[in-house]
Structure 1
Amino acid sequence: METVINSYAMSLPGNFSLSEGSQEIIIEKRWFSIAHLGTLLFALLWNGFTFFFYSLMMSGNVSVIILLFPILHVMVGVWLMYYAICGFFNKTVIKASHQEISVRHVPLPWSGDKLIERACIEQLYILEQTKKHRGSIIYSYDVQVVVHNHSNVSLITGLDTPEEALYIEKKLEQFLRIEDRPVEGAYIAS
Protein backbone atom coordinates (compact mmCIF):
# COMPACT_ATOMS: atom_id res chain seq x y z
CA MET A 1 0.00 0.00 0.00
CA GLU A 2 1.44 3.35 -1.02
CA THR A 3 0.36 6.56 0.65
CA VAL A 4 1.11 10.09 -0.50
CA ILE A 5 2.05 12.25 2.48
CA ASN A 6 3.24 15.83 2.17
CA SER A 7 3.90 15.49 -1.58
CA TYR A 8 5.96 12.31 -1.49
CA ALA A 9 4.97 8.68 -1.66
CA MET A 10 5.58 6.36 1.28
CA SER A 11 5.16 2.61 1.17
CA LEU A 12 3.87 0.61 4.09
CA PRO A 13 6.97 -1.07 5.61
CA GLY A 14 6.99 -4.86 5.23
CA ASN A 15 6.48 -5.73 8.89
CA PHE A 16 3.69 -3.15 9.37
CA SER A 17 -0.06 -3.24 8.94
CA LEU A 18 -2.37 -0.24 8.79
CA SER A 19 -6.04 0.26 9.53
CA GLU A 20 -7.49 3.72 8.91
CA GLY A 21 -10.91 5.11 9.64
CA SER A 22 -12.41 8.52 10.25
CA GLN A 23 -12.29 8.06 14.05
CA GLU A 24 -8.98 6.24 14.50
CA ILE A 25 -5.84 4.94 12.86
CA ILE A 26 -4.07 1.76 13.94
CA ILE A 27 -0.47 1.03 12.97
CA GLU A 28 0.88 -2.39 13.94
CA LYS A 29 4.52 -3.45 13.76
CA ARG A 30 5.43 -7.12 14.09
CA TRP A 31 8.58 -7.69 16.13
CA PHE A 32 9.82 -10.83 14.41
CA SER A 33 13.18 -10.75 12.67
CA ILE A 34 15.70 -13.46 11.85
CA ALA A 35 17.75 -12.32 14.87
CA HIS A 36 15.07 -13.79 17.15
CA LEU A 37 15.93 -17.28 15.86
CA GLY A 38 19.53 -16.80 16.97
CA THR A 39 18.42 -15.45 20.33
CA LEU A 40 16.11 -18.43 20.83
CA LEU A 41 18.87 -20.90 19.97
CA PHE A 42 21.31 -19.16 22.31
CA ALA A 43 18.68 -19.07 25.10
CA LEU A 44 18.01 -22.80 24.69
CA LEU A 45 21.73 -23.59 24.89
CA TRP A 46 22.23 -21.25 27.85
CA ASN A 47 19.26 -22.65 29.76
CA GLY A 48 20.26 -26.23 28.92
CA PHE A 49 23.75 -25.65 30.29
CA THR A 50 22.35 -23.94 33.41
CA PHE A 51 19.88 -26.80 34.01
CA PHE A 52 22.66 -29.36 33.55
CA PHE A 53 24.93 -27.43 35.93
CA TYR A 54 22.22 -27.20 38.58
CA SER A 55 21.31 -30.88 38.25
CA LEU A 56 24.96 -31.81 38.88
CA MET A 57 25.07 -29.53 41.90
CA MET A 58 21.81 -30.92 43.31
CA SER A 59 23.05 -34.50 43.09
CA GLY A 60 25.99 -33.69 45.36
CA ASN A 61 26.19 -32.42 48.90
CA VAL A 62 26.27 -28.68 48.17
CA SER A 63 25.47 -25.80 50.52
CA VAL A 64 22.60 -23.41 49.83
CA ILE A 65 25.06 -20.53 49.34
CA ILE A 66 26.70 -22.35 46.43
CA LEU A 67 23.28 -23.10 44.90
CA LEU A 68 22.40 -19.40 45.06
CA PHE A 69 25.65 -18.22 43.50
CA PRO A 70 24.73 -18.91 39.83
CA ILE A 71 21.21 -17.48 40.20
CA LEU A 72 22.21 -14.57 37.96
CA HIS A 73 22.81 -17.07 35.14
CA VAL A 74 19.30 -18.44 35.63
CA MET A 75 17.81 -14.93 35.51
CA VAL A 76 19.72 -14.12 32.31
CA GLY A 77 18.51 -17.37 30.74
CA VAL A 78 14.89 -16.72 31.66
CA TRP A 79 15.10 -13.16 30.32
CA LEU A 80 16.71 -14.29 27.04
CA MET A 81 14.03 -16.94 26.54
CA TYR A 82 11.23 -14.45 27.26
CA TYR A 83 12.77 -11.90 24.88
CA ALA A 84 13.03 -14.51 22.10
CA ILE A 85 9.44 -15.69 22.62
CA CYS A 86 8.20 -12.08 22.58
CA GLY A 87 10.07 -11.61 19.30
CA PHE A 88 8.12 -14.46 17.74
CA PHE A 89 4.66 -13.41 18.94
CA ASN A 90 4.56 -9.74 19.91
CA LYS A 91 3.64 -6.69 17.94
CA THR A 92 3.52 -3.02 18.83
CA VAL A 93 0.11 -1.44 18.32
CA ILE A 94 -0.06 2.34 17.90
CA LYS A 95 -3.64 3.56 18.02
CA ALA A 96 -4.51 7.21 17.49
CA SER A 97 -7.93 8.75 17.93
CA HIS A 98 -8.90 12.40 18.08
CA GLN A 99 -8.57 12.16 21.89
CA GLU A 100 -5.30 10.22 22.41
CA ILE A 101 -2.44 8.12 21.12
CA SER A 102 -1.79 4.78 22.78
CA VAL A 103 1.13 2.41 22.34
CA ARG A 104 0.78 -1.18 23.50
CA HIS A 105 2.96 -4.25 23.12
CA VAL A 106 0.82 -7.41 22.80
CA PRO A 107 0.08 -10.26 23.39
CA LEU A 108 2.93 -10.84 25.88
CA PRO A 109 3.62 -8.09 28.43
CA TRP A 110 6.52 -5.75 27.66
CA SER A 111 7.55 -2.37 29.00
CA GLY A 112 6.93 0.83 27.07
CA ASP A 113 3.14 1.04 26.89
CA LYS A 114 2.04 4.67 26.67
CA LEU A 115 -1.07 6.82 26.61
CA ILE A 116 -0.75 10.47 25.54
CA GLU A 117 -3.73 12.81 25.34
CA ARG A 118 -4.09 14.49 21.95
CA ALA A 119 -4.49 17.91 23.58
CA CYS A 120 -0.95 17.59 25.01
CA ILE A 121 0.73 16.85 21.67
CA GLU A 122 2.48 19.71 19.89
CA GLN A 123 4.75 17.90 17.44
CA LEU A 124 6.14 14.53 16.37
CA TYR A 125 9.68 13.99 15.15
CA ILE A 126 12.32 11.32 14.60
CA LEU A 127 15.45 10.89 16.67
CA GLU A 128 18.37 8.89 15.31
CA GLN A 129 20.24 6.79 17.88
CA THR A 130 23.76 5.47 17.28
CA LYS A 131 25.63 2.74 19.14
CA LYS A 132 29.03 1.22 18.53
CA HIS A 133 29.16 -2.56 18.39
CA ARG A 134 32.33 -4.46 17.50
CA GLY A 135 33.75 -1.53 15.59
CA SER A 136 30.55 -0.90 13.62
CA ILE A 137 27.99 1.83 14.12
CA ILE A 138 24.43 0.62 14.55
CA TYR A 139 21.60 3.04 13.90
CA SER A 140 18.09 2.91 15.31
CA TYR A 141 15.24 5.39 15.13
CA ASP A 142 12.75 6.65 17.70
CA VAL A 143 9.49 8.51 17.15
CA GLN A 144 9.33 11.30 19.72
CA VAL A 145 6.44 13.49 20.83
CA VAL A 146 6.84 17.09 21.97
CA VAL A 147 4.16 17.68 24.59
CA HIS A 148 2.63 20.97 25.76
CA ASN A 149 5.29 21.70 28.39
CA HIS A 150 7.96 21.32 25.66
CA SER A 151 9.28 18.07 27.08
CA ASN A 152 9.86 15.03 24.87
CA VAL A 153 8.24 11.63 25.24
CA SER A 154 9.41 8.57 23.31
CA LEU A 155 6.40 7.15 21.48
CA ILE A 156 8.24 4.14 20.02
CA THR A 157 11.94 3.32 20.11
CA GLY A 158 14.39 1.00 18.40
CA LEU A 159 13.01 1.08 14.86
CA ASP A 160 15.39 -0.48 12.35
CA THR A 161 15.08 2.02 9.51
CA PRO A 162 14.34 5.72 9.15
CA GLU A 163 11.54 4.78 6.74
CA GLU A 164 9.69 2.93 9.51
CA ALA A 165 9.96 5.93 11.84
CA LEU A 166 9.05 8.37 9.08
CA TYR A 167 6.00 6.32 8.14
CA ILE A 168 4.69 6.37 11.72
CA GLU A 169 5.45 10.07 12.18
CA LYS A 170 3.80 11.16 8.93
CA LYS A 171 0.72 8.94 9.25
CA LEU A 172 0.07 10.20 12.79
CA GLU A 173 0.67 13.84 11.84
CA GLN A 174 -1.68 13.46 8.89
CA PHE A 175 -4.44 11.83 10.97
CA LEU A 176 -4.09 14.24 13.91
CA ARG A 177 -3.70 17.25 11.61
CA ILE A 178 -0.37 18.26 13.10
CA GLU A 179 1.65 20.58 10.89
CA ASP A 180 5.18 19.23 10.49
CA ARG A 181 7.64 21.76 11.92
CA PRO A 182 11.37 21.44 12.44
CA VAL A 183 12.55 20.26 15.86
CA GLU A 184 16.12 20.85 16.99
CA GLY A 185 18.12 17.61 16.95
CA ALA A 186 15.56 15.75 14.85
CA TYR A 187 16.60 13.29 12.16
CA ILE A 188 16.11 14.80 8.71
CA ALA A 189 15.42 12.36 5.88
CA SER A 190 17.60 12.93 2.85
Structure 2
Amino acid sequence: MSSKLKIEELGSTLNMEYKWLKPQAYFFAFFCLFWDGFLVVWYSIAFATDGPLMMILFPLIHVAVGAGLTYYTICLFVNKSYIEVDNSRLSIRHAPLPWWRGTVDLHPRDLEQLYVKEKINKGENGTTKQYSVRAKLKDGSDKSIIGFIGMEAHEAQQVEKKIESFLRIPDYYVEGEYGLTAKRMSNEVKTRRPIAGMPGDQSLKNLQLGSFLDFESNSYKVSYVTQYDWKNGDTDRLFQLQSIGRDKDRLLHLGQQRGTLNVFVEAKINLMESRAFAFSTENAPDKLQYQEHDFVLVQQSSGQLYLNDANSGLPVEQWTYESGQRYHIRVVSYQGMLEYFIGERELEGSFYKILNP
Protein backbone atom coordinates (compact mmCIF):
# COMPACT_ATOMS: atom_id res chain seq x y z
CA MET A 1 0.00 0.00 0.00
CA SER A 2 1.37 3.42 -0.94
CA SER A 3 2.10 5.78 1.97
CA LYS A 4 0.36 8.55 0.01
CA LEU A 5 -2.87 6.59 -0.40
CA LYS A 6 -5.28 6.10 2.50
CA ILE A 7 -8.28 3.78 2.07
CA GLU A 8 -11.29 3.46 4.39
CA GLU A 9 -14.37 1.31 3.82
CA LEU A 10 -17.27 2.34 6.04
CA GLY A 11 -20.41 0.27 5.52
CA SER A 12 -21.70 1.04 2.04
CA THR A 13 -19.19 3.86 1.42
CA LEU A 14 -15.61 3.67 0.17
CA ASN A 15 -13.34 6.65 0.95
CA MET A 16 -9.85 7.16 -0.46
CA GLU A 17 -7.45 10.00 0.20
CA TYR A 18 -4.40 10.67 -1.99
CA LYS A 19 -1.61 13.10 -1.00
CA TRP A 20 -0.12 15.14 -3.82
CA LEU A 21 3.27 15.62 -2.12
CA LYS A 22 6.17 14.11 -4.06
CA PRO A 23 9.99 14.58 -4.00
CA GLN A 24 9.93 16.86 -7.06
CA ALA A 25 7.93 19.39 -5.02
CA TYR A 26 11.09 20.46 -3.16
CA PHE A 27 12.94 21.07 -6.43
CA PHE A 28 9.98 23.07 -7.76
CA ALA A 29 9.93 25.13 -4.54
CA PHE A 30 13.63 26.01 -4.93
CA PHE A 31 13.14 26.81 -8.62
CA CYS A 32 10.11 29.03 -7.88
CA LEU A 33 12.07 30.98 -5.27
CA PHE A 34 14.80 31.64 -7.82
CA TRP A 35 12.38 32.39 -10.70
CA ASP A 36 9.99 34.58 -8.71
CA GLY A 37 12.86 36.28 -6.89
CA PHE A 38 14.48 37.23 -10.18
CA LEU A 39 11.20 38.75 -11.41
CA VAL A 40 10.76 40.71 -8.17
CA VAL A 41 14.25 42.19 -8.56
CA TRP A 42 13.60 42.91 -12.26
CA TYR A 43 10.40 44.84 -11.60
CA SER A 44 11.88 46.61 -8.59
CA ILE A 45 14.57 48.02 -10.83
CA ALA A 46 12.08 48.80 -13.62
CA PHE A 47 9.78 50.83 -11.37
CA ALA A 48 12.58 52.44 -9.35
CA THR A 49 14.34 53.75 -12.45
CA ASP A 50 11.21 54.60 -14.47
CA GLY A 51 12.36 52.08 -17.04
CA PRO A 52 10.87 51.92 -20.54
CA LEU A 53 7.48 50.28 -21.13
CA MET A 54 9.13 47.34 -22.89
CA MET A 55 11.04 46.54 -19.70
CA ILE A 56 7.69 46.07 -17.93
CA LEU A 57 5.88 44.23 -20.73
CA PHE A 58 8.68 41.89 -21.81
CA PRO A 59 8.66 39.60 -18.69
CA LEU A 60 4.87 39.22 -18.53
CA ILE A 61 5.04 35.74 -20.07
CA HIS A 62 7.63 34.81 -17.43
CA VAL A 63 5.33 36.20 -14.74
CA ALA A 64 2.48 33.99 -15.96
CA VAL A 65 4.75 30.93 -15.99
CA GLY A 66 6.03 31.75 -12.52
CA ALA A 67 2.53 32.28 -11.11
CA GLY A 68 1.27 28.99 -12.57
CA LEU A 69 4.28 26.98 -11.40
CA THR A 70 4.16 28.56 -7.94
CA TYR A 71 0.47 27.72 -7.55
CA TYR A 72 1.10 24.14 -8.70
CA THR A 73 3.99 23.80 -6.24
CA ILE A 74 1.86 25.04 -3.33
CA CYS A 75 -0.84 22.52 -4.35
CA LEU A 76 1.75 19.73 -4.24
CA PHE A 77 2.53 20.58 -0.62
CA VAL A 78 -0.99 21.11 0.73
CA ASN A 79 -3.53 19.43 -1.55
CA LYS A 80 -5.16 16.02 -1.33
CA SER A 81 -7.59 14.25 -3.65
CA TYR A 82 -10.67 12.77 -2.02
CA ILE A 83 -12.44 9.84 -3.67
CA GLU A 84 -15.87 8.84 -2.37
CA VAL A 85 -17.79 5.86 -3.75
CA ASP A 86 -21.18 4.43 -2.86
CA ASN A 87 -24.03 2.79 -4.76
CA SER A 88 -25.24 6.14 -6.13
CA ARG A 89 -22.10 8.06 -7.06
CA LEU A 90 -18.37 8.15 -7.65
CA SER A 91 -17.04 11.56 -6.63
CA ILE A 92 -13.54 13.04 -6.93
CA ARG A 93 -12.64 16.41 -5.41
CA HIS A 94 -9.39 18.23 -4.65
CA ALA A 95 -8.80 20.42 -1.58
CA PRO A 96 -8.00 22.77 0.03
CA LEU A 97 -6.87 24.69 -3.08
CA PRO A 98 -9.01 24.53 -6.25
CA TRP A 99 -7.62 22.59 -9.19
CA TRP A 100 -8.41 23.23 -12.84
CA ARG A 101 -9.86 19.77 -13.43
CA GLY A 102 -12.36 20.35 -10.65
CA THR A 103 -14.75 17.75 -9.29
CA VAL A 104 -15.66 14.51 -11.06
CA ASP A 105 -19.14 13.08 -10.42
CA LEU A 106 -20.31 9.85 -12.04
CA HIS A 107 -23.07 7.35 -11.32
CA PRO A 108 -21.78 3.78 -10.84
CA ARG A 109 -24.38 2.43 -13.28
CA ASP A 110 -22.69 4.44 -16.06
CA LEU A 111 -19.31 2.75 -15.49
CA GLU A 112 -18.33 -0.01 -17.89
CA GLN A 113 -14.70 -0.47 -16.83
CA LEU A 114 -11.82 1.28 -15.05
CA TYR A 115 -8.24 1.06 -16.26
CA VAL A 116 -4.81 2.67 -15.86
CA LYS A 117 -3.26 4.54 -18.76
CA GLU A 118 0.38 5.52 -19.18
CA LYS A 119 1.36 8.75 -20.92
CA ILE A 120 5.00 9.20 -21.95
CA ASN A 121 6.29 12.75 -22.40
CA LYS A 122 9.64 13.20 -24.15
CA GLY A 123 11.46 16.50 -23.82
CA GLU A 124 14.90 18.06 -23.91
CA ASN A 125 15.42 17.21 -20.24
CA GLY A 126 14.49 13.55 -20.60
CA THR A 127 11.40 11.39 -20.50
CA THR A 128 8.62 11.55 -17.92
CA LYS A 129 5.77 9.13 -17.39
CA GLN A 130 2.31 9.99 -16.11
CA TYR A 131 -0.24 7.44 -14.91
CA SER A 132 -3.96 8.09 -14.61
CA VAL A 133 -7.07 6.12 -13.73
CA ARG A 134 -9.65 6.39 -16.50
CA ALA A 135 -13.26 5.27 -16.81
CA LYS A 136 -14.76 3.64 -19.86
CA LEU A 137 -18.45 4.59 -19.78
CA LYS A 138 -21.40 2.65 -21.14
CA ASP A 139 -22.22 5.41 -23.63
CA GLY A 140 -18.86 4.75 -25.31
CA SER A 141 -17.06 7.79 -23.90
CA ASP A 142 -13.83 7.75 -21.93
CA LYS A 143 -13.14 9.99 -18.92
CA SER A 144 -10.13 10.68 -16.71
CA ILE A 145 -10.87 9.96 -13.05
CA ILE A 146 -7.62 10.85 -11.32
CA GLY A 147 -4.00 11.23 -12.38
CA PHE A 148 -1.07 13.58 -11.77
CA ILE A 149 2.55 13.85 -12.75
CA GLY A 150 4.26 11.94 -9.97
CA MET A 151 1.50 9.39 -9.37
CA GLU A 152 3.14 5.99 -9.52
CA ALA A 153 1.76 3.16 -11.64
CA HIS A 154 1.11 0.96 -8.60
CA GLU A 155 -0.80 3.78 -6.89
CA ALA A 156 -3.08 4.24 -9.89
CA GLN A 157 -3.61 0.47 -10.08
CA GLN A 158 -4.53 0.34 -6.37
CA VAL A 159 -7.21 2.99 -6.93
CA GLU A 160 -8.53 1.14 -9.99
CA LYS A 161 -8.69 -2.27 -8.29
CA LYS A 162 -10.25 -0.97 -5.08
CA ILE A 163 -13.08 0.87 -6.87
CA GLU A 164 -13.73 -2.10 -9.18
CA SER A 165 -13.82 -4.48 -6.23
CA PHE A 166 -16.16 -2.24 -4.23
CA LEU A 167 -18.56 -1.70 -7.15
CA ARG A 168 -18.24 -5.35 -8.24
CA ILE A 169 -17.05 -4.44 -11.72
CA PRO A 170 -15.42 -7.51 -13.33
CA ASP A 171 -11.93 -6.55 -14.47
CA TYR A 172 -11.06 -7.01 -18.14
CA TYR A 173 -8.43 -5.69 -20.52
CA VAL A 174 -9.04 -2.34 -22.23
CA GLU A 175 -7.09 -1.40 -25.36
CA GLY A 176 -4.29 0.98 -24.40
CA GLU A 177 -4.29 -0.13 -20.75
CA TYR A 178 -1.01 -0.05 -18.88
CA GLY A 179 0.22 -3.23 -17.21
CA LEU A 180 -0.77 -6.85 -17.68
CA THR A 181 -2.37 -7.72 -21.00
CA ALA A 182 -3.26 -11.20 -19.73
CA LYS A 183 -6.59 -9.96 -18.41
CA ARG A 184 -9.73 -11.51 -19.80
CA MET A 185 -11.50 -9.72 -22.63
CA SER A 186 -14.84 -7.97 -22.08
CA ASN A 187 -16.89 -10.81 -23.60
CA GLU A 188 -15.29 -13.31 -21.21
CA VAL A 189 -16.38 -11.75 -17.92
CA LYS A 190 -19.66 -11.56 -16.10
CA THR A 191 -21.50 -8.28 -15.68
CA ARG A 192 -21.21 -6.96 -12.15
CA ARG A 193 -23.88 -7.71 -9.59
CA PRO A 194 -25.55 -4.78 -7.87
CA ILE A 195 -24.09 -3.42 -4.67
CA ALA A 196 -25.90 -4.56 -1.57
CA GLY A 197 -27.58 -1.64 0.13
CA MET A 198 -27.62 -0.79 3.78
CA PRO A 199 -30.08 -2.70 6.00
CA GLY A 200 -33.58 -1.33 5.44
CA ASP A 201 -32.68 -0.10 1.95
CA GLN A 202 -33.23 -3.36 0.09
CA SER A 203 -34.77 -3.57 -3.36
CA LEU A 204 -35.26 -6.05 -6.17
CA LYS A 205 -32.22 -4.58 -7.93
CA ASN A 206 -30.06 -5.94 -5.10
CA LEU A 207 -31.62 -9.43 -5.12
CA GLN A 208 -29.09 -12.28 -5.10
CA LEU A 209 -28.63 -15.93 -4.22
CA GLY A 210 -29.82 -16.51 -0.65
CA SER A 211 -32.06 -13.44 -0.49
CA PHE A 212 -35.50 -13.58 1.17
CA LEU A 213 -38.63 -11.73 0.08
CA ASP A 214 -42.41 -11.73 0.41
CA PHE A 215 -44.95 -11.76 -2.42
CA GLU A 216 -48.73 -12.12 -2.19
CA SER A 217 -48.55 -12.83 1.56
CA ASN A 218 -46.08 -15.68 1.05
CA SER A 219 -42.37 -15.84 1.86
CA TYR A 220 -39.68 -17.06 -0.54
CA LYS A 221 -35.96 -17.69 -0.64
CA VAL A 222 -33.83 -17.21 -3.77
CA SER A 223 -32.44 -20.70 -4.39
CA TYR A 224 -31.06 -20.30 -7.93
CA VAL A 225 -30.02 -17.41 -10.18
CA THR A 226 -29.57 -17.37 -13.94
CA GLN A 227 -27.96 -14.25 -15.38
CA TYR A 228 -28.09 -13.09 -19.00
CA ASP A 229 -25.49 -10.56 -20.15
CA TRP A 230 -26.60 -9.19 -23.52
CA LYS A 231 -24.30 -7.68 -26.13
CA ASN A 232 -26.17 -4.36 -26.00
CA GLY A 233 -25.03 -3.88 -22.38
CA ASP A 234 -28.29 -4.89 -20.67
CA THR A 235 -28.38 -7.59 -17.99
CA ASP A 236 -31.39 -9.77 -17.12
CA ARG A 237 -31.73 -12.15 -14.17
CA LEU A 238 -34.04 -15.07 -13.55
CA PHE A 239 -34.53 -15.99 -9.90
CA GLN A 240 -35.95 -19.28 -8.69
CA LEU A 241 -38.02 -18.47 -5.61
CA GLN A 242 -38.34 -21.38 -3.19
CA SER A 243 -41.51 -21.16 -1.12
CA ILE A 244 -41.18 -21.11 2.65
CA GLY A 245 -44.52 -22.68 3.40
CA ARG A 246 -47.19 -24.37 1.32
CA ASP A 247 -47.26 -22.06 -1.69
CA LYS A 248 -45.71 -23.22 -4.97
CA ASP A 249 -42.22 -22.16 -6.06
CA ARG A 250 -42.06 -19.26 -8.49
CA LEU A 251 -39.79 -17.76 -11.13
CA LEU A 252 -39.03 -14.03 -11.01
CA HIS A 253 -37.57 -12.39 -14.12
CA LEU A 254 -35.95 -8.96 -13.84
CA GLY A 255 -35.31 -7.51 -17.27
CA GLN A 256 -33.19 -4.42 -17.79
CA GLN A 257 -33.95 -2.32 -20.85
CA ARG A 258 -32.09 1.00 -21.21
CA GLY A 259 -31.89 1.35 -17.44
CA THR A 260 -35.57 0.50 -16.85
CA LEU A 261 -36.38 -2.52 -14.67
CA ASN A 262 -39.17 -4.76 -15.98
CA VAL A 263 -40.54 -7.25 -13.44
CA PHE A 264 -42.31 -10.45 -14.51
CA VAL A 265 -43.45 -13.49 -12.54
CA GLU A 266 -42.86 -16.41 -14.87
CA ALA A 267 -43.63 -20.09 -15.32
CA LYS A 268 -42.11 -22.61 -17.69
CA ILE A 269 -44.22 -23.67 -20.65
CA ASN A 270 -44.27 -27.47 -20.78
CA LEU A 271 -42.97 -29.49 -23.71
CA MET A 272 -46.39 -30.45 -25.03
CA GLU A 273 -47.58 -26.84 -25.21
CA SER A 274 -44.32 -25.54 -26.66
CA ARG A 275 -44.50 -27.97 -29.60
CA ALA A 276 -47.50 -26.04 -30.88
CA PHE A 277 -45.21 -23.06 -31.51
CA ALA A 278 -43.20 -24.98 -34.13
CA PHE A 279 -40.35 -22.68 -33.17
CA SER A 280 -37.12 -22.62 -35.20
CA THR A 281 -34.04 -20.64 -34.19
CA GLU A 282 -33.07 -20.28 -37.85
CA ASN A 283 -36.41 -18.78 -38.82
CA ALA A 284 -38.14 -17.51 -35.69
CA PRO A 285 -41.82 -16.69 -36.23
CA ASP A 286 -43.01 -13.09 -35.92
CA LYS A 287 -46.03 -14.17 -33.83
CA LEU A 288 -46.94 -16.83 -31.29
CA GLN A 289 -50.32 -17.79 -29.89
CA TYR A 290 -50.70 -19.10 -26.35
CA GLN A 291 -53.82 -19.49 -24.20
CA GLU A 292 -55.93 -17.32 -26.49
CA HIS A 293 -53.37 -14.50 -26.46
CA ASP A 294 -51.44 -13.29 -29.50
CA PHE A 295 -47.78 -12.52 -28.87
CA VAL A 296 -45.65 -10.39 -31.22
CA LEU A 297 -41.86 -10.65 -31.53
CA VAL A 298 -40.38 -7.43 -30.10
CA GLN A 299 -36.73 -8.28 -29.49
CA GLN A 300 -34.03 -10.77 -30.36
CA SER A 301 -30.93 -10.78 -28.15
CA SER A 302 -27.65 -12.67 -27.93
CA GLY A 303 -24.97 -12.79 -25.27
CA GLN A 304 -23.69 -14.94 -22.41
CA LEU A 305 -25.69 -16.99 -19.89
CA TYR A 306 -24.38 -17.69 -16.37
CA LEU A 307 -25.94 -20.51 -14.37
CA ASN A 308 -26.22 -19.77 -10.66
CA ASP A 309 -22.96 -18.16 -9.44
CA ALA A 310 -20.69 -19.42 -12.25
CA ASN A 311 -18.03 -17.06 -13.61
CA SER A 312 -17.82 -18.71 -17.03
CA GLY A 313 -20.69 -18.14 -19.42
CA LEU A 314 -22.46 -20.02 -22.19
CA PRO A 315 -23.53 -18.53 -25.54
CA VAL A 316 -27.25 -17.76 -25.44
CA GLU A 317 -29.94 -16.35 -27.72
CA GLN A 318 -33.35 -15.08 -26.67
CA TRP A 319 -36.53 -14.12 -28.51
CA THR A 320 -39.01 -11.98 -26.59
CA TYR A 321 -42.68 -11.85 -27.55
CA GLU A 322 -45.23 -9.53 -25.96
CA SER A 323 -49.00 -9.45 -25.70
CA GLY A 324 -49.78 -5.85 -24.83
CA GLN A 325 -47.98 -4.59 -21.75
CA ARG A 326 -49.08 -7.37 -19.41
CA TYR A 327 -47.70 -10.66 -20.75
CA HIS A 328 -44.56 -11.85 -22.47
CA ILE A 329 -43.06 -15.11 -23.71
CA ARG A 330 -39.31 -15.67 -23.66
CA VAL A 331 -37.75 -18.33 -25.87
CA VAL A 332 -34.20 -19.10 -24.71
CA SER A 333 -31.70 -21.15 -26.71
CA TYR A 334 -28.41 -22.44 -25.27
CA GLN A 335 -26.38 -25.66 -25.57
CA GLY A 336 -28.78 -26.89 -28.24
CA MET A 337 -31.78 -26.64 -25.89
CA LEU A 338 -34.89 -24.47 -26.08
CA GLU A 339 -36.71 -23.21 -22.98
CA TYR A 340 -40.03 -21.35 -23.02
CA PHE A 341 -41.25 -19.00 -20.29
CA ILE A 342 -44.60 -17.25 -19.94
CA GLY A 343 -44.53 -14.14 -17.75
CA GLU A 344 -47.02 -11.70 -16.25
CA ARG A 345 -45.89 -8.19 -15.40
CA GLU A 346 -45.83 -7.19 -11.74
CA LEU A 347 -45.16 -3.93 -9.93
CA GLU A 348 -41.80 -3.74 -8.17
CA GLY A 349 -43.65 -2.71 -5.02
CA SER A 350 -45.49 -6.06 -4.97
CA PHE A 351 -42.34 -7.58 -3.48
CA TYR A 352 -41.52 -6.56 0.06
CA LYS A 353 -39.57 -7.53 3.19
CA ILE A 354 -36.53 -8.06 0.98
CA LEU A 355 -33.52 -9.26 2.94
CA ASN A 356 -30.19 -9.75 1.18
CA PRO A 357 -27.38 -11.84 2.70
Give the shorter-chain TM-score range: 0.7 to 0.9
Residue correspondence of structure 1 range 103-118 to structure 2 within 5 A: 103-112=92-101, 113-118=103-108
Q: CA deviation at 1:129?
A: 1.5
Give the ranges of 4+ consecutive aligned residues of structure 1 lying more than 3 Å apart after TM superposition.
Answer: 63-66, 133-137
**What one-letter code is carried by the residue in structure 1 that aligns with 2:77?**
F
Moved more, 66-75 or 120-129: 66-75
1:49 pairs with one of 35, 38, 45: 38
Q: Structure 1 CA distance, aligned partners of 2:73 and 2:125?
A: 25
Find 2:145's aligned residue among 140, 155, 165.
155
Higher relative contact order (CA 8 A, sep 6+): 1
Farther off after superposition, 68-77 or 99-108: 68-77
Q: Which runs of 5+ in 2 are unaligned?
A: 182-357
Structure 1 residue 138 displacement after superposition: 2.8
Whole-angstrom CA distance in 1 between matches of 2:176 and 2:27: 34
CA separation of 1:52 and 1:88: change in aligned 2, threshold 3 A = same
Once residues 64 and 120 of structure 2 are traced to their aligned partners in structure 1, the CA distance between those partners, rounded to angstroms, is 28
Q: What CA distance in whole angstroms lies between the structure 1 residues aligned with 2:128 and 2:55? A: 39
Letter in 1 for 2:39: T
- Look up the equivalent residue of 1:182 and give its one-letter code: Y
Q: Please tell me whether residue 21 in structure 1 is matched to residue 26 in structure 2.
A: no
- Partner Cα distance (1:135, 1:33) in 2: 19
Conserved 8 A contact 1:40-1:80: no
Following superposition, the deviation at residue 64 of structure 1 comes to 3.8
Contact 1:139 1:160 in 2 (8 A): no
Note the alpha carbon deviations across 1:66-114, whole angstroms, 9 max, x for none: 4222111111111121111111100111111111111111111112221
State how far apart, in whole Å, the 2-side matches of 1:172 and 1:47 are: 41
Distance 2:22 2:114 in 1: 26
Q: Say whether the 8 Å CA contact 1:162–1:189 is kept in structure 2.
A: no
Compute the TM-score of the two structures, normalised by the length of structure 1: 0.87
Residue correspondence of structure 1 range 82-121 to structure 2 within 5 A: 82-112=71-101, 113-121=103-111
| Alpha-carbon distance between aligned partners in 1 of 2:43 and 2:104, rounded to the nearest angstrom | 40
Deviation at 1:127, TM superposition (A): 1.1
Unmatched runs of 5 consecutive residues or more in structure 1: 1-11
Q: Following TM superposition, by how much is the alpha carbon of 1:65 offset from its aligned partner in structure 2, in angstroms?
A: 4.7
1:114-173: CA deviation from partner (whole Å, max 9, x where unpaired): 111112111111112112244744322111101111111011123532211111011001
Aligned to 1:111, what secondary structure does the other structure show?
A: coil
Q: How many residues align?
A: 179
Give secondary structure in 1 for the equivalent of 2:67: helix
Specify whether residues 74 and 138 from structure 1 end up closer, same or farther in structure 2 by C-alpha distance, changes over 3 A only. closer
More strand by percentage:
2
TM-score normalised over the length of structure 2: 0.48
